Amino acid sequence: MDAREVLDLLDLTLLDHEADDAALDSLCKKANEHKPAAVCVFSEHAPYVGSRLDDGVALAAVAAGFPVGDESPEDIVEAIREAVASGAEEVDCVLEPREGDGFPDESDLAKLIAMREATKGCILKVIIEAPLLDERRLRAVTRMVLAVGADFVKSCTGKRGGCGDEVAGILAYEVHRHGLATGDSSGVKLSGGIGSKADAERLIGIVTGHDPSLVGSHRLRIGASSLLEDLVG
């Protein structure tokens, strides 16, 4: 892959509650110059960033807790509605994992339904924190995320572990399986520890090896804050 192909999949990320105008301006300048798929920031920064992004770069907001997700469906709905009101076209939202074989259960399903209902008209990317899950729970929660109609299942926040090769393969397999069963065209977002073009190429190769249709920014995203420098530096 060339750098442009990876850039087309990139969610350029700045998740820092303390980020000042200078840092946000720098982010927007990079985005306008290099045209990633989206810029991803906290909801409170979305109005400022959105007003400075050129057309063609989507505005994504992280809502309802990060890296630890909110527990209450009501709180999730309120946070997502605030993000959408701030101008976000896409919402990244953590489904907080729990210890034990009971995860995921009906309480987690209620959170996912709240996320989907609150993001109607926007792209929803559900973060599942795969590094904290064994394979059984990883597959179970991925299937639940896809069942509620999320647009993307996202590997992790990157704050509690990175995205490994095995996780990328499992997510791609489950999205492919779901698509065969339902006809849906859900996507995979890989995030966590992806700092080089080589990292991105390897993970993308794993995903497309399981499902060749997982191409283009409507089906595949890479979430990273430092990858841009390796791509264009």
From the candidates 108, 125, 151, 189, which is the catalytic residue? 189
From the candidates 11, 70, 154, 199, which is the catalytic residue? 154
Q: Which two tokens stand for residue 39?
A: 């810029």
From the candidates 92, 108, 151, 211, which is the catalytic residue? 92
Instruction: Choose among 146, 93, 92, 89: nearest CA to 120.
Output: 89
Collapse the DSSP code of 126 into the 3-class scheme (helix H, G, I; strand E, B; otherwise coil) and give the result. Answer: strand
The helix (H) or strand (E) run that includes residue 13 is strand 10-14
92 noted as active-site residue: yes
Peptide bond into 67 cis (omega under 30): yes
- Residue 163 has phi, psi (to 5 degrees) of -90, 110
**Angstrom distance (rounded) from CA 145 to CA 112:** 7
Contact 127, 92 (CB under 8 A): yes
**Angstrom distance (rounded) from CA 174 to CA 153:** 10
16 noted as active-site residue: no
211 noted as active-site residue: no
Looking at the annotation, which residues are catalytic?
Answer: 92, 154, 189
